[in-house]
Amino acid sequence: MAPGFGGLPAAERDVDVSGRVANFLAELPPRGLARVRLGLKAFELLPFPWRFSRLDLNAREDYLGHLEKSTFGPYQDLLLMAKVLCTFGYAVVPAVKEQVGYEVTCALDGAVAVAADPGQASPAGTLGETEVPGSVEECDVVIVGSGAGGAAAAATLAEAGVDVIVLEAGSHFDSGSYPSDPMEAILSLYREAGLTIADGHPPIPIPVARTVGGTTVINSGTCFRAPDQVLEAWERDHGIDWAADVGAEYSEAESFLRVTPVDPEQMGRNGQLTMEGAAALGASGGPISRNAGRCVQCSSCPFGCRIDAKRAMHVSYLPRAVAAGARVRANVEAERVVVENGRATQVACRVAIQDSRERTSPRQSGTSPSTMAEHGGPALAGARAEGPTRPYTVRARTAVIVAGGALGTPELLIRSGLGGKAVGWNLHIHPACWVGARYEEEVRGWEGVMQSYYVDEWERERILLEATFTPLPFGGAWLLGTGRRHQEAMLGFGNVGSIGVHLSDHSSGRVRVGGDGSLRASYKLDRADARRIGYGIARAAEIHFAAGATEVYPNIGRIGVLRPGDAGRLDSIDPKPAELRLEAFHPMGTARMGPEGGGPGGDGAVCDSDGAVRGTRGLYVADASLFPTSVGVNPMMTIIAFSKRVAAGIAARG
């Protein structure tokens, strides 16, 4: 896959790639590892009667080229898997980054005095003692999950005088302890090492975090309010009588998180090209607002903001909650909500027992995650919940709030036998794809802001476009070509621009728990939604060409490369769902709200409109699981708004 070309080192001959990948795979949870093993075995045996590993270099390149030209979906999937693994292990090598010219940096506008800025989030490190002190703790309200929903609920309750404990399955990291190596970061910060996948045609990865602060630690910091028509529909059609009245919650969050539109002059060339292309077409859009104040350079968002300029929950709402008396407990796996006399009264958990040599978290000890990983310490705790554990119980006098996200929340409810048969259904994910393009000018998309400009011209088609640049270890795998052709494309990575196509999906899926206790997600993309994604790809291609691109890569296997004038071809294509190469970053809807006592919009709802889980007193949900339908935009701010409303109701009822 990387034979050495144009000054790039050859994999294995010049730099170790297989060893890095093998070390990464060895840390995967069992189900993720089984998936990869099956794929690699198929890849090895596919050139029957030969084996891929026994082919010479030229034969391997020919075979990879054959897979790339194939229109057979499984062949495309196998090739992409191989490119992802190889590129991930190769693109992090310093000699490769140097040759490409790629670097990861974060910076604030030098004109802003951060320390004196009253909107600056509280610094990380104010979470107090996050290690579990014993086997039992008590509080008024226990919250399972520390992401946007859990953190906002914790701050709201704690500031109302409620005694709160927040539980998080992952470890606590911040700007002083994020792993610098991308592979280590994926293992430390992501659930299932980023390999949480919704099975279907196509299978769709849904990378979500497993760390204190949740997915806000690894997202791009994009802040949208839900469209008015979505909130009005939730109120009208789903019985959430306050859904269109959360303006105050939005405003408070925007002020506290210092949500600021990206400066067009400093957003970087990738965003500017999208802006210029959209303007040339007369397409509406604007700079994206982010919870990063005057951040003008960010290329580490998926691995944690190196300067914590992004106001993720671990440097904003969680410190605020702790300042009001809340407690945060890391490395705690919630196993079951315990119900007594019809009321949720406690959460039964397991706590990871750290190696005796390293019993404190990276944040508390100041030890680097790399060093701790060498000793099997908590640097890898975010990747899995294996290894020695001990029991831990949190007793709640008033309520249990489940805020583990639209994957983790139904998982816990199902394991607890709570919420009814509707739990886990109605999974929406905003299926998305990357549309790259090559420009004659330098783009250097890693300079400026990674997600910087949106185009909402085609909102009626449920399509949102966002100028989004993907780091080399991830984005490099999507470049065309194999072998030397792929390396040539990597050398030209500085001339690549990219736009993300997001669909507000009508298609849906399901979350369940397998017989082995592991999370199982599935998703069925229907033909109508596949057609809309194809429409969005065509519009992104038009924007690229209007901005001066010479080639566009639509990520539909049978299309290949588009040249100027070719974008119209996509409108005549009716892509099958399995032809699309998709990802998703916004799971929602798996414990949806409906009106109290049933009624219009209440069928199939898991929660009443106050967030209370039906059938169990004192049990609530406060995350994106509540959303009745796809929200249509990045959901973080709506999660915060809804969670604050749920928490305020609990506080008011006492």
Choosing from 81, 100, 119, the residue where a domain stops is: 100
Structural domain count of the chain: 2
CA 235 to chain centre: 28
The enclosing domain of 389 has a CATH number of: 3.50.50.60
Same domain for 68 and 3: yes
At residue 80, the pLDDT reads: 85
| pLDDT higher than 60, residue 409 | yes
Query: Hey, which residues are catalytic here?
Result: 586
Would you say residue 103 has pLDDT above 90? Answer: no
- Bridge partners (DSSP) listed for residue 513: 519
Q: What is the pLDDT of residue 156?
A: 98
pLDDT number for residue 598: 53
* 206 in the same domain as 72: no
Both 331 and 387 in one domain: the answer is yes
Is the same domain home to 67 and 214?
A: no
Residues 154 and 76 in one domain: no
At residue 498, does pLDDT exceed 90? yes
Please check whether residues 182 and 249 belong to one and the same domain: yes
Contact 353, 389 (CB under 8 A): yes
- Per-residue pLDDT band for 386 (boundaries 50, 70, 90) equals low
Contact 492, 478 (CB under 8 A): no
Give the chain's mean pLDDT: 89
Residue 496 lies in a domain: no
Per-residue model confidence as pLDDT tens digits over 61-99:
888 888 888 878 788 888 888 888 899 899 989 999 999
- Both 238 and 365 in one domain: the answer is yes
Return the sign of the alpha-carbon dihedral for residues 535, 540, 546, 549: negative
Is the domain of 317 the same as that of 418? Answer: yes
Q: What is the mean pLDDT of residues 395-409?
A: 98
User: Is residue 388 scored above 60 in pLDDT?
Assistant: yes
* Model confidence at 400: pLDDT above 50: yes
Q: Do 230 and 351 fall into the same domain? A: yes
Of 243 and 74, the structure prediction assigns the larger pLDDT to 243
Among 100, 116, 143, which residue terminates a domain? 100
In a domain? residue 624: yes
More confident site: 373 or 613:
613
In a domain, 329, yes or no: yes
pTM reported for the whole predicted model: 0.92
Residue 371 has pLDDT above 70, yes or no: no
Give a yes or no: residue 240 inside a domain: yes
pLDDT, average across residues 36-64: 89
Burial of 654 (0-12, 13-18, 19+ CB in 10 A): exposed
**More confident position, 387 or 177:** 177
What is the share, in percent, of the chain residues with pLDDT greater than 70?
A: 91
Cα–Cα distances (Å) from 498 to 254, 571, 583, in that order, read 27, 20, 15
Q: Are 191 and 316 contained in the same domain? A: yes
Same structural domain for residues 53 and 92? yes
The amino acid that residue 221 corresponds to is G
Q: Is residue 455 domain-resident?
A: no
Task: Evaluate the omega torsion of the peptide bond into residue 49 and state whether it is cis, within 30 degrees of 0.
Answer: yes
Domain assignment present for 173: yes
Domain limits for position 38: 1-100
Question: Looking at the structure, do residues 95 and 136 belong to the same domain, yes or no?
Answer: no
116 within some domain = no
